[in-house]
Amino acid sequence: MNSLPHDRSCEAPLGRARLASLTLLLALAVASPTRADDADAKKILKTMSDYVTGQEHVQLTFDVDIEVITPQLEKLQFASSGEAALSRPDKLRVTRSGGYTAVELVFDGKTATVLGKDSNTFAQVEVPGSLDQMIDRLRAEHQIEMPGADLLLSNMYDELIAGVIEAKHIGRGVVDGVECEHLAFRNQETDWQLWVELGPNPIPRKYVITSKTLAAAPQYTLRIKAWDTETPLDAKTFAFGPPAGAQSVEFTALADVSELPPPAEAPKEQ
């Protein structure tokens, strides 16, 4: 018996159909984990945000590293440490010390004070309202940048997730001996990562912001060390008393509140 003729004109479309089906299956297989990662990352972020904003008062210590790129394209990192006390909804005290500055921010619900300890000068502004309003006003009107302050806002989740175009649950990591969930998020201008403590207290243990629009992608890194929600805080914690000899100045005259050295002291190429 003669075999049936082998019609290649039918085989080609069939082969393409099989290839298309296989490609679709592979695409679905790749896409599904991505969607799961996205949802998982946002869920962990929301859990962390709800936990932190639900704390009436918090005391913590922290370390900060900030990178800069010199005109010679050298990447330098500057380090500082500090502590913060927070009482919701309208009280905050933060101190930070580094190689180039020692600064303190005090907010009692009515007045925000920034003290430059090295120059013994301070500036004040009346900001009756919430902690969120104070942070927004210092940023907008006085160019006082506080990258890690997003982790203190009452609407933390909304602020963090705004503009996010990609979210990933990378896996787990260990920060200062504490096991954490590792999350990564992407915006148009920045990539940022969070390490959130596992267990009943989902504290943000590490926060990294990478600037994608700047050459060499410098990073800002915040590490939260001690975290205390048990010790009560009283009004004295948030009362500002000028040090002896301190001078009141305008915000524009505060010369030593940056985490970076002034230009005249910046390292120069040899």
Cis peptide before 242 (omega within 30 of 0): no
pLDDT tens, the chain, 270 aa long = 444 344 444 444 445 555 555 454 444 444 444 555 789 999 999 999 999 999 999 999 999 999 998 889 899 999 999 999 999 999 999 999 988 789 999 999 999 999 999 899 999 999 999 999 999 999 888 888 787 889 999 999 999 999 999 999 999 999 999 999 999 999 999 999 999 999 999 999 999 999 998 888 899 999 999 999 999 899 899 999 999 999 999 988 886 666 666 554 445 444
Classify burial at 35, counting beta carbons within 10 Å of its beta carbon; exposed 0-12, middle 13-18, buried 19 or more: exposed
Q: What are the chain's domains?
A: 42-258 (2.50.20.10)
Long-range CB pairs of 184-188, under 8 A, 24+ apart, other chains included: 184/41, 185/41, 185/45, 185/160, 185/161, 187/163, 188/163
pLDDT at 43: 97
Q: Which residues pair with 76 in a beta bridge?
A: 68
Long-range CB pairs of 95-100, under 8 A, 24+ apart, other chains included: 96/64, 96/259, 98/64, 98/259, 99/261, 100/256, 100/258, 100/259, 100/260, 100/261, 100/262, 100/265
pLDDT at 258: 66
Under 8 Å between Cβ of 164 and 185: yes
Under 8 Å between Cβ of 108 and 236: no
What separation, in Å, do the N-terminal and C-terminal C-alpha atoms of the chain show? 91
Print the SS3 string covering 1-14: CCCCCCCHHHHHHH
The C-alpha atoms of residue 116 and residue 19 are separated, in whole angstroms, by 67
The C-alpha atoms of residue 197 and residue 190 are separated, in whole angstroms, by 23
